[in-house]
Amino acid sequence: MKPVSELLKHRDPALFHTSPDTTVFDALHVLARHEVGALMVMVDDKLVGVLSERDYTRKIALLGKNSKEVKVADIMTANVITVSPTTRTRDCMNLMSQKRIRHLPVVDGDKVVGMISIRDLMDDIIADHEQTIEQLTTYIQS
């Protein structure tokens, strides 16, 4: 398996994020606009949390709260699990499985360099398998 930095090379370098003071409603618009399932919550350049669709569902919708009144800081996951650019994709999969999370911010020292999702990892695994199948097919046909 490859390091996370390889996955980030093939992705949009934009860091989709919001601030803790934003309303959940406004953050949902950012999620929808970028078609992502989670946003990094940042103050200046510092990662302070992650807001996911799951946070919204469990902490707003199911509790009957108003997303136009609640701030991101009130529902975000503050104890963020991160990985470094050198973390192997297999280790990311294991971490996501153990912690039951779908998104991992990638941090290099104090700098946030991206975020990977379970979909990114699955797409990478599928591409690796397809390449292996192609190589084996070529080998067999030779």
Task: Find the CATH number of the domain harbouring 43.
Answer: 3.10.580.10
User: What span, in angstroms and rounded, lies between the C-alpha atoms of 60 and 65?
Assistant: 5
Number of domains in the chain: 1
pLDDT of residue 129: 77
CB < 8 Å & 24+ apart, contacts of 43-49: 43/19, 45/110, 45/111, 45/112, 46/110, 47/80, 47/82, 47/105, 47/107, 47/112, 48/20, 48/76, 48/78, 48/80, 49/20, 49/73, 49/76, 49/77, 49/78, 49/80
pLDDT of residue 141: 83
Q: Which domain holds residue 24?
A: 4-141
pLDDT of residue 140: 87
Each of the 142 residues of the chain gets a pLDDT tens digit; together they read: 789 999 898 877 788 999 999 999 999 999 999 999 999 999 999 999 999 999 999 999 999 999 999 999 999 999 999 999 999 999 999 999 999 999 999 999 989 999 999 998 988 888 877 887 888 888 788 7
User: What span, in angstroms and rounded, lies between the C-alpha atoms of 89 and 71?
Assistant: 33
